[in-house]
Amino acid sequence: MTADLVAEIGERGYAVLPTRAPAEMLQGLREALERMYREEADTPRQHAEPGCLRGYNLVRRAAVFRQALLYSRVIDVVEAILGRDCILHSFESRSALPGGGEQSLHRDMPFVPHMALSINVLWLLDDFTAENGATRLIPGSHRRPEGPEPGRVYPDEVLALAPAGTILAFDTMTWHGGGANRTNQIRRGIHVHYCRSWVKPQRDHTRSMDPAALVGASPLLIRLLGYYAQPEFEAAPNDFRRNPMPGSDGHPTGDGRWPWK
């Protein structure tokens, strides 16, 4: 199954996972997202995009978001494409309000031929329909050196029409954009963006995480947060180290071991 999904992303630029997120996790994600929107209602960045509610650095905000980050069926795919040392680039939400949500087609990474720099994984927390502005995609556009022309309508555009709980993975060089929400209900989605270990992530997760949330963290979470991808520093002459992760038995030791191998 993983090989088929990897091949599909390589050919079309995107693929839908064949199984949906578990119902309990889906409900937990919705509740955590709505709680964050309420608690951060006065945060300017939440309203930075007119017609949408935005959330940033979700990995630090609730345990259920970290469960989504570690979801094994996603990890199998992104590791097969990006390598078993890949890390988290960013974890955000984008929820289109009634009358909002339309984006220009764009790509999330600059064009590099013959290599995916990162994979964006969209979790649909609501049904995505033509009426509420399902994500638009241009098949094969991840192989086009040029970017999309603003305002142009592409005849090969497809809509990610799918029920809540669907997980869509796409090469971030694939042209995509949110559609206009013409309903009277919010359309919620979260984006878990994974990248190669040598790509600079959008957020510094090694400094933004609450140490209390990392007690007993798995080696996979530690790696995805970027603790093993940190540049080493010289603590003493000829003694290169990495910053330890507070509260975890799996923190980097500076002895050259790579725990995911």
- Give the residue with greater pLDDT, 238 vs 208: 208
d(CA 55, CA 132): 19
Q: Where are the domains positioned within the chain?
A: 2-195
Q: Residue 44 in contact with residue 1, Cβ under 8 Å?
A: no
Residue 215: what pLDDT?
84
Residue 250: what pLDDT?
45
pLDDT for 236 beyond 90: no
Instruction: Find tokens 């013959």 and name the residue.
Output: 114
Least confident of 38-42, 104-108, 235-239, 252-256: 252-256
Residue 247: what pLDDT?
58
pLDDT for 254 beyond 60: no
Q: Residue 199 in contact with residue 118, Cβ under 8 Å?
A: yes
Kindly report the average pLDDT of the chain as a whole number: 92
Least confident of 19-23, 242-246, 248-252: 248-252
pLDDT for 253 beyond 70: no
The rounded percent of the chain whose pLDDT value lies above 70 is 92
Residue 256: what pLDDT?
45
d(CA 27, CA 231): 38
Provide the strand spans (E) within 8-165. Answer: 14-16, 52-55, 87-96, 118-124, 136-137, 158-159
> Rounded mean pLDDT of 236-256?
60
Q: What is the pLDDT of residues 188-231, one digit of tens each?
A: 999 999 999 999 999 999 889 988 888 888 999 999 999 888 88
Residue 258: what pLDDT?
46
Question: Does the predicted model carry a pTM greater than 0.85?
Answer: yes
The domain 2-195: what is its CATH number? Answer: 2.60.120.620
Residue 251: what pLDDT?
47
Confidence bin at 110 (pLDDT 50/70/90) = very high
DSSP three-state, residue 16? strand
